[in-house]
């Protein structure tokens, strides 16, 4: 038994929710919660825009490249797409008309980098990677993140498109703040990759909620909330209403449940169950989780119908509808 599992057993942490049934070898639970298995390398991304992210990542993975490079290059495609109004360039602004971007990245060694409330930089994921590789910190925010990005050679530019500006001006007529379930494949691109060496990395990037309060930061740049990887176990990413993910530290929870013996599918279902149990009014919001483990098993689950994800494995890129809680 590994020292980690021994600690969990001694401390009683391996007896939470569905984990208890799994640890006890409950055949009923196992039959109800199955994960699809693939071979590696593989790439998996949230939402329909994950198809193009996977394509870019697969070019790296299929040539023996690192998972960290695959996830960075994959989500950069979506960040640069002005037609995607929930990520990067073209993202909807906050209620003051300012586009602020959040992103995080994590490699197979456990190193991580993050930026939040970053303005005027098209590729926050690459800035996050520079934070990871070139600073003693994990997260830089706001003006400090922008200063660091410019020092690293990133070009400051206007990332508010005319389309997003016009929508914001129309919104200002009522200024009604009401997030809608599944709007525009709301509201993130999260990506995980397992490379030919079996190493796992993850990335998550977003422009956040449309018309949010200036300075609002969601789960996407927070290690353990929007994304988390442990190269001994697996990785997870989240999408949807960030406040619900932050309150339950969803991605870390999924990975830790896999550490306790749950499959990726069991783990994401249990993470949704925690939201249902602990957060009043959860019915008004969408949350989706993706997870992979070292064996190449995949899990996906959401609160509401409508969450889909892209899976690139065995030389095929597929868009798959996730199962969901609220039937």
Give the span between the Cα atoms of 189 and 205, in whole angstroms.
6
- Asked if 139 and 221 count as a contact pair (C-beta separation under 8 A), the reply is yes
Can you give the three-state secondary structure of 228-250, one letter per residue?
EEECCCEEEEEEECHHHHHHHCH
Establish whether 188 is a catalytic residue.
Answer: yes
User: How many C-beta neighbours within 10 Å does residue 16 have?
Assistant: 16
- Residue 132 contacts by C-beta under 8 Å, 6 or more apart in sequence? 105, 106, 107, 111, 112, 113, 138
Residue 292's beta-bridge partner residues? 235, 298
Residue 34's beta-bridge partner residues? none
* CA-based max dimension of the chain: 62
Q: Which of 188, 205, 239, 248 is catalytic?
A: 188
Active site residues: 188
């Amino acid at each position: 038994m590994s020292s980690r599992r021994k600690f969990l057993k001694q401390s009683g942490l391996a007896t939470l929710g569905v984990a208890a049934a799994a640890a006890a070898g409950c055949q009923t639970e196992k039959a109800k919660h199955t994960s699809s298995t693939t071979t590696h390398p593989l790439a998996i991304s949230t939402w329909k825009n994950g198809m193009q992210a996977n394509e870019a990542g697969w070019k790296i993975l299929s040539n023996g490249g690192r998972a960290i490079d695959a996830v960075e290059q994959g989500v950069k495609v979506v960040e640069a797409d002005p037609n995607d109004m929930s990520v990067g360039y073209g993202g909807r602004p906050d209620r003051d008309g300012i586009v602020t971007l959040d992103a995080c990245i994590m490699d197979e060694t456990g190193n991580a980098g993050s930026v939040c409330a970053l303005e005027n930089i098209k590729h926050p994921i690459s800035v996050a990677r520079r934070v990871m590789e070139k600073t003693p910190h994990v997260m830089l925010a706001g003006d400090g993140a922008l200063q660091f990005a410019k020092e690293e050679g990133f070009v400051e530019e206007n990332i508010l498109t005319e389309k997003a500006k016009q929508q914001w001006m129309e919104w200002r007529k009522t200024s009604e703040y009401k997030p809608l379930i599944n709007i525009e494949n709301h509201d993130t691109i999260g990506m995980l990759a397992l490379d030919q060496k079996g190493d796992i990395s993850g990335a998550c990037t977003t422009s956040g909620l449309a018309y949010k309060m200036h300075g609002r930061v969601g789960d996407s740049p927070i290690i353990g909330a929007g994304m988390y990887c442990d190269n001994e176990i697996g990785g997870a990413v989240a999408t949807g209403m960030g406040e619900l993910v932050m309150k339950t530290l969803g991605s870390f929870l999924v990975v830790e449940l896999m550490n306790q013996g749950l499959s990726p599918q069991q783990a994401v279902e249990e993470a949704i169950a925690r939201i249902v149990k602990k957060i009043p009014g959860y019915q008004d919001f969408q949350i989706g989780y993706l997870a992979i483990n070292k064996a190449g098993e995949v899990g996906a689950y959401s609160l509401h119908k409508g969450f889909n994800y892209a899976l690139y494995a065995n030389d095929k890129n597929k868009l798959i509808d996730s199962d969901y809680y609220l039937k």
